[in-house]
């Protein structure tokens, strides 16, 4: 029990890998480094895949790429609705990043989403985007007025929602990834050979991708609500 | 002390009951809806996924609290 709590605590803490020696030292934690690796991977992949694109006589690679991009765009635009489809590229980016970072545990990296700070940053970006979309569509005056809808009595609850939404987005992502990780650790403790395989399919792959989808789905739902 | 901490964590995880009931009801209704209108399956599964994600959140909060109790008190 003591040992388990200790090892869990160790996993919960995100160690500082190195420090940038400016302004009294900026700590760079492990999740940031893994995020850089993911970024490098995605940028390299997109550079390789988008070389020599043609209009006529397309290659198989381009056909597959176009199919994937159209599918992802349609998926997110379907969730956003007609009014807010210009936000689709950002949400597709978040979807790709979360999808890759949730399954990167399979390759021996620590998933960045297991760090509470990553989940909190993503949730903050989401809530800023949601409110900015509302302001952009309605103007400041109408946006401020929209808090008092449908009746003025519920205004405090609507204001509270600005804080609750990112909190629940952040906790849902972090809790799910951490929960899957803890359960996998416990299973490995029982029997490290063979037994973790079927569970890994569910907890590492399926659950991670579902959580990426849920995060983007909820954000787009809130944006759709904000621009209505 | 350790026993009390374990009991506390166990109580926190009882939030899973709510999530289980919620997801169970949602899935039952979704199966019902698909049986009635198989052509609306895409929309139904989307709504089901959203409902499950929201219902599951309570279980996740309970889990996070339970973990925090074990880590910081135990």
pLDDT digits (tens, 9 = 90+) for A59-69: 888 888 889 98
- For B71, the closest of A8, A171, A214 (CB atoms) is A8
Residue A56: count other Cβ atoms within 10 Å of its Cβ: 4
Residue A55 distance to chain B (closest CA, Å): 33
DSSP string, A53-113: --SSS--HHHHHHHHHHHHHHHHHHHHH-GGGGGGHHHHHHHHHHHHHHHHGGGGTPPPGG
- For A9, the closest of B46, B53, B71 (CB atoms) is B71
Residues of B in contact with A174 (CB under 8 A): 64
CA distances, A62 to each of A54, A70, A162 (Å): 8, 12, 42
Residues in chain A: 228
The pLDDT value given to residue B74: 67
User: Would the ipTM clear 0.85, i.e. be above it?
Assistant: no
Contact A1 B2 (CB under 8 A): yes
Q: Does A14 have pLDDT greater than 70?
A: no
* Interface check A3 vs B, CB under 8 A: no
Tell how far CA A161 is from the center of its chain. 20
pTM greater than the 0.90 cutoff: no
Secondary structure of A125-194 in HEC code, one letter for each residue: HHHHHHHHHHHHHHCHHHHHHHHHCCCHHHHHHHHHHHHHHHHHHHHHHHHHHHHHHHHHHHHHHHCCCC
The pLDDT value given to residue B20: 92
Residue A147 distance to chain B (closest CA, Å): 23
Local structure of A115: helix, strand or coil: coil
Domains along the sequence of chain B with CATH: 2-73 (1.20.20.10)
User: How large is the angle between the packed helices A2-12 and B41-73, nearest 10 degrees?
Assistant: 120
Rg (CA), chain B: 17
pLDDT digits (tens, 9 = 90+) for B4-37: 888 988 999 898 898 999 999 999 999 999 999 9
Q: Which of A13, A76, A172 to mutate to test the interface with B (most CBs of B within 10 A)?
A: A172
Alpha carbons A156 and A164: distance in angstroms, whole number: 12
Q: Does A4 have pLDDT greater than 80?
A: no
pLDDT digits (tens, 9 = 90+) for A72-130: 888 888 888 887 788 888 999 999 999 998 888 788 788 888 888 888 999 999 999 99
Helix (H) or strand (E) holding A29: strand A26-29
Q: Identify the residue with better confidence: A46 or A17.
A: A46
* Interface check A81 vs B, CB under 8 A: no
* Interface check B64 vs A, CB under 8 A: yes
The dihedral built from the CA positions of residue A131, B58, A176 and A9, taken in this order, carries a sign that is positive
Alpha carbons A211 and B60: distance in angstroms, whole number: 12
- Mean per-residue pLDDT, B66-70: 82
- Write the CB contacts of A147 (distance below 8 Å, at least 6 apart in sequence): A155, A158, A159
The pLDDT value given to residue A6: 72
Confirm if B26 and B52 have CB atoms less than 8 A apart.
yes
Bond before A150 cis per omega within 30 degrees:
yes
- Write the CB contacts of A7 (distance below 8 Å, at least 6 apart in sequence): A185
Minimum CA–CA partner of B64 in chain A: A175
- Residues 175-204 of chain A with CB under 8 A from chain B are 175-176, 178-179, 182
Residues of B in contact with A214 (CB under 8 A): 49-50, 53
């Amino acid at each position: 029990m003591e040992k388990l709590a200790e090892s869990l605590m160790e996993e919960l803490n995100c160690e500082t890998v190195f420090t940038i020696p400016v302004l009294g030292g900026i700590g760079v934690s492990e999740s940031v480094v893994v995020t850089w690796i993911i970024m490098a991977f995605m940028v390299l992949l997109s550079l390789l895949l988008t070389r020599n694109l043609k209009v006529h006589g397309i290659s198989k690679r381009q056909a597959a790429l176009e199919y994937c991009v159209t599918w992802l765009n349609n998926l997110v635009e379907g969730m956003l609705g007609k009014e807010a489809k210009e936000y689709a590229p950002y949400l597709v980016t978040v979807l790709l990043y979360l999808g890759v970072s949730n399954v990167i545990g399979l390759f021996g990296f620590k998933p960045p989403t297991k760090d509470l700070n990553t989940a909190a940053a993503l949730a903050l970006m989401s809530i800023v985007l949601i409110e900015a979309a509302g302001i952009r569509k309605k103007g400041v005056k109408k946006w401020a007025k929209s808090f008092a809808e449908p009746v003025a009595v519920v205004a405090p609850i609507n204001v509270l929602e600005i804080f609750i939404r990112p909190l629940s987005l952040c906790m849902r992502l972090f809790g799910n990834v951490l929960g899957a990780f803890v359960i996998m650790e416990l299973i490995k403790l029982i029997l490290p050979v063979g037994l973790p395989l079927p569970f890994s399919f569910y907890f590492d792959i399926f659950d991670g991708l579902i959580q990426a989808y849920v995060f983007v789905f909820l954000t787009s739902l809130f944006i759709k609500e904000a621009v209505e | 002390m350790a026993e009390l901490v374990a009991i506390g964590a166990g109580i926190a995880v009882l939030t899973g009951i709510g999530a289980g009931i919620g997801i169970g009801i949602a899935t039952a209704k979704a199966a019902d809806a698909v049986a009635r209108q198989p052509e609306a399956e895409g929309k139904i599964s989307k709504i089901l996924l959203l409902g499950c994600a929201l219902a599951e959140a309570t279980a996740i909060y309970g889990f996070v609290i339970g973990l925090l109790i074990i880590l910081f008190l135990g």
